[in-house]
Structure 1
Amino acid sequence: MDPNKAAELFILNHFPNCYGSVLAGSVVRGEATETSDLDIVIFEKNLKTAYRESVIEYGWNIEVFVHNLTSYKEFFKSDCERARPSLPKMVSEGIVLKDSGILDLIKHEANELLDKGPEEWSVDTIKVKRYFITDTLDDFIGSTLRAEEIFIANTLAELVSEFVLRTNRQWIGASKWIVRSLKNYDEKFAGHFVEAFDTFYKTGDKNMIIVMVDEILQPFGGRLFQGFSLGK
C-alpha cells in the first residue's frame, strides 16, 4: 500500500481523536528501501506518558511515537543535548496526516532547534575527545591482528565523525546517520571519509585513515597524550 495511505488509515483506525500526526522518515525523504518502515509521530491531548510502539499493518513496519502536548518538549531538549535531534527532525520533515491547529507551532519549535545547531564544545571537552581519538588511533596503528583492527576502526570512525561534526556545530548520528550527517555538513569530506575506511576494510591499508585523522586534529593541537589528565 502507498505509504501515505497506509499512515492515514493507521491514524484513522487507532488514533481517530488525536490532535495531530505526521508521517516522517525515509519514505518522506525519498530514501526508502525494501526494509524501510513508516515513522509516525502522534500528539494526544490526555496522554499521561509518552511512548513508542512497533507494529505491522497494511504491509508496513510502523514505528509510532506518541506524545501529549508537553512531553515532546522534553524529548526535543534531550535529543538536542545529545546532538542527535531525532524527534525534532521527524516533526520538521514530517508530512501532516492530521492537524487540529497545533502542528504549525510544534514544527516551528523543531525548526528553531534544528537551525540553532548543537551547543558548542568547550575547550576541555575538545581536549578529552582529542585524547580518546589519539588513544584509539595508537591502538589502530599498533594492532597486527586483523580481527581487532576491524573493530578498532569502527570505534575510530565513530569518534572522528563526532569530532568533525561537533567542532563545526553540526548534528551527529549513529549507524547510517554517521555518513548522512557528514554529507549534510560537507559532501566532499564525507566522500573522503568513506574512501579512507573503505580502503582499509578492503585492503588493510591504514595510511589514508591515519593521515585524515592527523589532519582533522591538527587545527586543535594534534594528537594528545603527554600531560592529559582526568579528575585530577
Structure 2
Amino acid sequence: MIKVPEILTGMTPDPVDQARRLAYDRFPDALAVILAGSTAAGRATASSDLDIAVLIGDGGETCRETIRFEGRVVELFIHTRAGLVDLFAADIAARRAVLQSMYATGLILIDTNGEARRARALAEADLRKGPPPLEPETVETKRYGLTDALDDLADTGDHIERLAVAGFVLSAAADLLCDYQHAWIGGGKWLPRRLLQADAELGAALLEAHLHLCKSGDPGPMVNAASGILNLVGGPLREGYRRTWRGVIESVATASGR
C-alpha cells in the first residue's frame, strides 16, 4: 500500500510520535530521553515546539541546541550525568528548577537501565525541597525597587511608561511572593503559572490587576495588589535604605528598576 505523505492529507503529525522518531533517529545510544513541555502535558498545538531532555554518556558534550525536525522546532537539552548534576544545581540557584520540572513531569521516551527513572527521582527530590530563600539583603533591595516602581506607577501620566512600569511591578512582586511562599519562580508564560502555584489568591489578584491596568490604564488595583505583597515581606522601603557594594559592582538600576 502506498503511504500518502502527511502534508498531502492535511493531517498534522502527532508531536509525541515525532519526538520518539527524533529520539531513536538522532540519539540511539542515549541513556535517557524525556519529552517535556506542552506536548507531554497534552496541550500541544500545531505550532508548539518540542522540549526534549537527553541524557548521554560521560564522553559526550553538555549543550543546548535548537533544531527543526519534520517541520517542527525542537529545543534539545543535552547533558552527561555530570552535566545534569551541574544543570540541576544551576537551576536551583536561579530558583527556577526548569530542568527538574522537565524530568519530573515529562514523558519518558528512552530509559536505558533505569537512567531516566533515577534522574527523575533526583529531580522530584529537588522540587520537594523547594528553592533556596533569598538573602535578607536581597529581599531588602527588591523591596526598595518595588516601592520605587509603585511610586512611578502611581505618578506617571504617560500610558506607555505606565505599561512598562507595570511589567516591572508584576515581575518584582511575583518574585517576592514566590520567595515568601518558598516557591519556584518562572519567566514568560511560566511567570503566571508559578505565581498561581505559589499563592492562588494573591497571585490571581496581582495578575488580574495587571490585566486591568493594560486594558484600562487604571493603576489602582495593581498598586493595591503589589502593596499587599510588599506588606508580607516588611512593607514599602524608601528612606533608610542603604546598600554597600562588595565584589562586583552592579548598576544602580538593578535596585530601582530605572
TM-score by length of 2: 0.86
1:36 aligns with 2:36: no
Q: Partner of 2:167 in structure 1?
A: 154
Q: Partner of 2:99 in structure 1?
A: 87
Residues 16 and 40 of structure 2 are in contact (CA less than 8 Å); yes or no, is this contact kept in structure 1? no
Residues 176 and 233 of structure 2 are in contact (CA less than 8 Å); yes or no, is this contact kept in structure 1? no
Q: After TM superposition, give the deviation of residue 142 of structure 1 in Å.
A: 1.3
Q: After TM superposition, give the deviation of residue 124 of structure 1 in Å.
A: 2.2
2:189 maps to which of 176, 182, 185: 176
Cα deviation code 1:96-147 (max 9, x no counterpart): 1111121221111100001110112233222111101111111111111111
Q: Partner of 1:136 in structure 2?
A: 149
Q: Partner of 2:118 in structure 1?
A: 105
Q: Take 2:46 and 2:197, find their aligned partners in 1: how far apart are those partners?
A: 24
Q: Take 1:220 and 1:60, find their aligned partners in 2: how far apart are those partners?
A: 44
Residues 51 and 65 of structure 1 are in contact (CA less than 8 Å); yes or no, is this contact kept in structure 2? yes
Q: Take 2:75 and 2:179, find their aligned partners in 1: how far apart are those partners?
A: 28
Cα deviation code 1:202-226 (max 9, x no counterpart): 1111110111122111233311011
Q: After TM superposition, give the deviation of residue 41 of structure 1 in Å.
A: 0.8
Q: Take 1:123 and 1:52, find their aligned partners in 2: how far apart are those partners?
A: 34
SS in 2 for 1:175: coil
Q: Take 1:33 and 1:96, find their aligned partners in 2: how far apart are those partners?
A: 20
Q: Partner of 1:13 in structure 2?
A: 25
SS in 1 for 2:81: coil
Q: After TM superposition, give the deviation of residue 195 of structure 1 in Å.
A: 1.3
For these two proteins, the number of residue pairs brought into alignment is 232
1:26 aligns with 2:26: no
Over alpha carbons, which structure has the higher Rg?
Answer: 2
Q: After TM superposition, give the deviation of residue 184 of structure 1 in Å.
A: 1.6
Q: Partner of 2:3 in structure 1?
A: none
Q: Take 2:19 and 2:59, find their aligned partners in 1: how far apart are those partners?
A: 20
Q: Take 1:70 and 1:184, find their aligned partners in 2: how far apart are those partners?
A: 30
One-letter code aligned to 2:103: V
1:124 aligns with 2:137: yes
Q: After TM superposition, give the deviation of residue 89 of structure 1 in Å.
A: 0.7
Q: Please identify, of 131-140 and 179-188, the stretch whose mean Cα deviation from structure 2 is larger.
A: 179-188
One-letter code aligned to 2:63: Y
Unaligned stretches of 5+ residues in structure 2:
1-12, 246-258
Residues 23 and 96 of structure 1 are in contact (CA less than 8 Å); yes or no, is this contact kept in structure 2? yes
2:65 maps to which of 53, 57, 60: 53
One-letter code aligned to 1:209: M
